[in-house]
Chain A
Amino acid sequence: MEVQPSPPQGAGPQSTKHRRRWIAALIPLTALALSGCTLPSFGAYKSDTTTGQDSYRLWQWFSVGAVVIGTFTFLLIVWAVLRYRRKGDTIPKQSQYHIPLELLYTIIPVIIVGVLFWGTVVVENKVVAMPKTNVRIHVNAFKWGWGFTYPGQNAVVVGNTTQEPTMVMPVGTDVAVTITSTDVMHGFYIPQFNFSRYALPGVTNEVTFHAVKTGTFTGQCSQLCGLYHSLMYFKVKVVTVKQYTEWLHGFDTPAGKLAAQAAENALKIQMSAGLPVVSAVTAGVN
């Protein structure tokens, strides 16, 4: 921040000293800002998808801005509070306006907002992009569980509050995920992918994940959906493409078909049980 903590009136010799101190304080911050890769995480997940990592970097830069502006403003408050506490009954100078200063703290925030918006749009376009891909998964949320079907494949996975289902997806390739709900609103939230999207009745949402490494991650419902909202978990298992194909083929054997059929029936039962009124979307194997 180049903004000086200049008081409403002209600067005396004292404030030159302060200015120097401020500049000294800015040097390590600038150095930190320039070496982007060494930025701290500011509490967020680094993420294991490409778009999640883009969001993570945007998070870091937003945080740099927030920390710099927040610290600067906080120090101004602390300075004002400590320096200008009442010392006598004299009436201070009744200054009310300082147009250049006021313009400064209007224009600089507009510029900062412009930069933040630019970064937002760049990352947002990547996150919501839907490149063409053959790997598709359909997520169907219901009270209180998840069904994962693989269009064009036999695989069906269903789970509820007592047995959380696992969404298996391949690493290193675009995976198109469509999300619907059969009853109320749910939130399809995978913290380590830095992503969530509502599962809406009557609407099919779509997102593309491109996982960069294998592993198992926890996902859960983020939007209040009734009594057992807090038990609505699922797992995301990212495997190699070979493992993924093998897993899919497991459902083509007679035993696998039986399992898929059982899961599909379970999904239908869940849907009709959890769904006395609204039935907008029929899920299942296409």
Chain B
Amino acid sequence: MTAVISPDTHHDDAHEAHDHHGPTGVLKWLTTTDHKIIGLSYTVTAVLMLVIGGFFAELIRVQLSAPYEHFLSFAQYNEVFTMHGSIMIYLFAGPMAFGALANIIVPIQIGAPDMAFPRLNALSYWLYLTGSITMLSGFFVSGGAANFGWVGYAPLSNAANSPGAGADLWIGALLLTGFSAIFTGVNICATVFYLRAPGMTLFRMPIFTWNLLVTSILILLAFPVLTAGLIMLYCDRHFGTHIFSVQGGGVPVLWQHIFWFWGHPEVYILALPFFGMVTEIIPVFSRKPVFGYKGMVFATLTIAALSLGVWAHHMFTTGVVLLPFFSIMSLLIAVPTGIKLFNWIGSMWRGQIWFSAAMLYAIGFVVTFLIGGLTGIYLASPPLDFFTHDTYFVVAHFHSVVMALVMGGIAGLYYWGPKITGYLLNETIGKIQFWFLFIGSQVFTLPLYILGLRGMPRRMAVYPNNPGWQHLNEIATIGAVLIGISTVLLVVNILVSWKKYPAGDNPWDGHTLEWFTTSPPPHHNFYRLPQIRSERPTWDYNHPEAPAIAHGTHEEK
């Protein structure tokens, strides 16, 4: 513990000696290997992708507000929903989760000066940016962007059924962002295992860091499979192989196996970081330690382990998978997920809840995720999946989940944004934005559940004007408009709050190490570190009289 500097040394004294000399301005952004600046680049790019993907979502909802072809053609509609899904999954949710906030926060939370491989980290970002541009450029080639859905099922995605450069650009984009993710995974694993500050044992790591570690391991297990699959698909399209085509002795369903072997862990690769964010935020604003810390860690590990054995629940209706095995594995994921939900509630229980914007989003996350989680249990049961698969019920289910994740992500922006910029966002606008997003999400998703049960399949450019279908679609469109307004409010808030409300080092009375350093942190993050004796070193330093109480002390005060 020799690295621990006496707490009474004021850090301002050290400013000059530690200042970093390097390029400034645009050159600094282009050449940096500083994880915080890379993380900021990730954040800006990912939020931009959210806006673009959200814009496509609004186009979809405008089209579906009436049953006939009135706004987009069939071909345009197929492109738009494909790119909506692809942008949101590949270019927004993942990079926002393990590129943006993880990059900024994980090294600081464990008291590290930077990521383990700073240059690899920079490469990750540039691959991600290149991949994003590659995917979007599909709109500018003849034949248009990819139009076979974000899952790219073979043989619809082969050269005969989907000719044109749009599909190839889609494959290329996924290869690039896939490598970006793999490198980030390597980097986070190495950082967490080798760069923790003295005293920061694994079971003193904040839950966010824990979740990012598990996410990174999942990335390393899952993404190479997708990359391999994409290369096979590309070979099928251009080099005359027949891996996914019946004609040459191939097996089309193999693509689904490969895709979902990546795709279901990917769901948790997306979700776990946002779970982690919420797990940081709820205890801080309840002024309590996270309830059931170790249970939380084991729940995360269990989810990760199970997620590798559930991929074929996306394929129940193919008729070629073992139903009971994938059913029980999928149902079991409800258990660790339930543990997380109850731990979040337990963290609030008997706390002193401060309803900041970040906390509102975190609670909105828990409620919305509860809906998305419960409806997911139906889909784990093959007989129920048979009549909900590929209908709007599924669409509603995963949109409940991802809207929850978006709330978690925005909670993270409000919570950690001040740490990285030095300035708070406007709380009032943040709360108004929250209610638009929260109410909008429910108004958007709940009618879709009924729509799916009434038999409306997904990915329909037009639909028969069955009784009720149009009304349900209209309600969902209203919800989408409310969500759109909330996105505009986020941008407005960033502009309004620009360098207006100085945050100070520790605006939320935070628990973890990032709240011990300055806002924004210096080049190598810390001038000094507190003693690390629990997973809340900053709290312990500021409130030495109130350590976490271990199990067994039941006596009332």
Residues of A bordering B, CB below 8 Å: 7-10, 12, 43-45, 52, 54-55, 58-59, 62, 65-66, 69-70, 73-74, 76-77, 80-81, 84-88, 90-99, 101-102, 105-106, 109-110, 113, 116-117, 119-121, 123-124, 127-128, 183-185, 187, 189, 191-198, 200-203, 205-206, 218, 220-231, 233, 276-280
- Which residues does chain A contribute within 8 Å of B155, judged by CB atoms? 183-185, 201, 277-278
CB pair A194 B245 closer than 8 Å: no
Bound together, the chains give a CA A279 to CA B335 distance in angstroms of 45
- Which residues does chain A contribute within 8 Å of B149, judged by CB atoms? 224
Bound together, the chains give a CA A218 to CA B449 distance in angstroms of 19
Contact partner of A80 (CB less than 8 A), chosen from B335, B339, B348, is B348
Residue of B nearest to A108 (CB): B338
Q: How far is the CB of B254 from chain A (nearest CB, A)?
A: 11
Bound together, the chains give a CA A94 to CA B457 distance in angstroms of 49
Contact partner of B253 (CB less than 8 A), chosen from A58, A106, A200, is A200
Contact partner of A200 (CB less than 8 A), chosen from B293, B320, B366, B367, is B320
Bound together, the chains give a CA A263 to CA B346 distance in angstroms of 65
Bound together, the chains give a CA A54 to CA B382 distance in angstroms of 12
Known contacts: A120-B327, A221-B457. The answer to whether A7 contacts B382 by CB under 8 A is no
Q: How far is the CB of B211 from chain A (nearest CB, A)?
A: 18
Contact partner of B148 (CB less than 8 A), chosen from A81, A189, A224, A233, is A224
Bound together, the chains give a CA A131 to CA B149 distance in angstroms of 36
Q: Closest 4 A-B residue pairs measured CB to CB?
A: A191-B455, A97-B551, A280-B246, A202-B246
For window 423-447 of B, CB contacts with A under 8 Å fall at none
Residue contacts A-B, CB under 8 angstroms, 28 given: A7-B349, A8-B291, A9-B554, A45-B455, A66-B374, A66-B375, A69-B374, A84-B350, A85-B353, A86-B353, A91-B543, A92-B287, A92-B288, A93-B549, A95-B289, A96-B293, A109-B338, A110-B332, A117-B331, A123-B383, A187-B317, A197-B386, A221-B457, A223-B153, A224-B156, A226-B156, A277-B247, A278-B245
Contact partner of A187 (CB less than 8 A), chosen from B75, B161, B286, B390, is B390
CB pair B387 A10 closer than 8 Å: no
- Which residues does chain A contribute within 8 Å of B26, judged by CB atoms? none
CB pair A96 B386 closer than 8 Å: no
Known contacts: A44-B387, A93-B350. The answer to whether A230 contacts B323 by CB under 8 A is no
- Which residues does chain A contribute within 8 Å of B153, judged by CB atoms? 184-185, 223-224
Q: How far is the CB of B464 from chain A (nearest CB, A)?
A: 8
- Which residues does chain B contribute within 8 Å of A116, judged by CB atoms? 331, 377, 381
Q: How far is the CB of A123 from chain B (nearest CB, A)?
A: 4
CB pair A102 B381 closer than 8 Å: no
B453-494: CB near A (< 8 Å → 1, else 0) gives 111011111111000000000000000000000000000000
Bound together, the chains give a CA A229 to CA B346 distance in angstroms of 47
- Which residues does chain A contribute within 8 Å of B158, judged by CB atoms? 277
- Which residues does chain A contribute within 8 Å of B319, judged by CB atoms? 197-198, 200, 203, 205-206
CB pair B386 A94 closer than 8 Å: no
Residue of B nearest to A9 (CB): B554
Residue of B nearest to A201 (CB): B246
Bound together, the chains give a CA A150 to CA B289 distance in angstroms of 67
- Which residues does chain A contribute within 8 Å of B345, judged by CB atoms? 73, 76-77, 80
Q: Is B546 an interface residue (CB 8 A)?
A: yes
Known contacts: A66-B377, A198-B318. The answer to whether A77 contacts B366 by CB under 8 A is yes
- Which residues does chain B contribute within 8 Å of A7, judged by CB atoms? 349-350
- Which residues does chain A contribute within 8 Å of B449, judged by CB atoms? 43
- Which residues does chain A contribute within 8 Å of B374, judged by CB atoms? 66, 69-70
Known contacts: A85-B353, A123-B383. The answer to whether A96 contacts B450 by CB under 8 A is no
Residue of A nearest to B332 (CB): A113
Q: Is B501 an interface residue (CB 8 A)?
A: no
Bound together, the chains give a CA A105 to CA B545 distance in angstroms of 31
CB pair B352 A62 closer than 8 Å: no
Q: Is B391 an interface residue (CB 8 A)?
A: yes
Number of interface residues of B (CB under 8 A): 96
- Which residues does chain B contribute within 8 Å of A73, judged by CB atoms? 341-342, 345, 370
CB pair B460 A96 closer than 8 Å: no
Residues of B bordering A, CB below 8 Å: 74-75, 78, 148-149, 153, 155-156, 158, 160-161, 245-247, 251-253, 286-295, 317-320, 323-324, 327-328, 331-332, 334-335, 338-339, 341-342, 345-346, 348-355, 363, 366-367, 370-371, 374-375, 377-378, 381-384, 386-387, 389-391, 449-450, 453-455, 457-464, 543, 545-551, 553-554, 556-557
Q: Give the total number of A-B pairs whose CB atoms are below 8 A apart.
A: 298
Known contacts: A84-B349, A92-B351, A97-B550. The answer to whether A106 contacts B339 by CB under 8 A is yes
Known contacts: A200-B252, A228-B74. The answer to whether A96 contacts B549 by CB under 8 A is yes
Q: How far is the CB of B286 from chain A (nearest CB, A)?
A: 7
- Which residues does chain B contribute within 8 Å of A74, judged by CB atoms? 367, 370
Bound together, the chains give a CA A43 to CA B449 distance in angstroms of 9
- Which residues does chain B contribute within 8 Å of A194, judged by CB atoms? 383, 386-387
- Which residues does chain A contribute within 8 Å of B549, judged by CB atoms? 93-96
Bound together, the chains give a CA A40 to CA B339 distance in angstroms of 29
Q: How far is the CB of A86 from chain B (nearest CB, A)?
A: 5
Residue of B nearest to A205 (CB): B319
Known contacts: A84-B286, A94-B289. The answer to whether A185 contacts B156 by CB under 8 A is yes
Bound together, the chains give a CA A66 to CA B386 distance in angstroms of 19
Q: How far is the CB of B340 from chain A (nearest CB, A)?
A: 10
Known contacts: A7-B350, A70-B374, A222-B389. The answer to whether A44 contacts B551 by CB under 8 A is no
Residue of B nearest to A230 (CB): B460
Bound together, the chains give a CA A225 to CA B245 distance in angstroms of 15
CB pair B462 A231 closer than 8 Å: yes
Bound together, the chains give a CA A81 to CA B354 distance in angstroms of 10
- Which residues does chain B contribute within 8 Å of A44, judged by CB atoms? 387, 453
Bound together, the chains give a CA A78 to CA B454 distance in angstroms of 31
- Which residues does chain B contribute within 8 Å of A185, judged by CB atoms? 153, 155-156, 252
- Which residues does chain B contribute within 8 Å of A76, judged by CB atoms? 345
- Which residues does chain A contribute within 8 Å of B74, judged by CB atoms? 227-228, 230
CB pair B382 A227 closer than 8 Å: no
Residue of A nearest to B253 (CB): A200
Bound together, the chains give a CA A45 to CA B387 distance in angstroms of 10
CB pair A113 B334 closer than 8 Å: yes
- Which residues does chain B contribute within 8 Å of A205, judged by CB atoms? 318-319
Bound together, the chains give a CA A62 to CA B382 distance in angstroms of 12
Bound together, the chains give a CA A202 to CA B245 distance in angstroms of 9
CB pair B156 A225 closer than 8 Å: yes
Bound together, the chains give a CA A8 to CA B354 distance in angstroms of 20
- Which residues does chain B contribute within 8 Å of A77, judged by CB atoms? 345, 348, 363, 366-367, 370
- Which residues does chain A contribute within 8 Å of B375, judged by CB atoms? 66
Residue of A nearest to B255 (CB): A185
Q: How far is the CB of A4 from chain B (nearest CB, A)?
A: 13
Bound together, the chains give a CA A183 to CA B158 distance in angstroms of 11
Bound together, the chains give a CA A192 to CA B366 distance in angstroms of 34
Q: A109-B335, A196-B317, A226-B148 are in contact. List 11 more A-B contacts (CB 8 A).
A: A69-B374, A70-B374, A74-B367, A84-B286, A95-B291, A120-B384, A124-B323, A124-B382, A127-B382, A127-B386, A233-B464
Residue of B nearest to A217 (CB): B455
- Which residues does chain A contribute within 8 Å of B292, judged by CB atoms? 96-98, 102
Contact partner of B457 (CB less than 8 A), chosen from A96, A105, A189, is A189
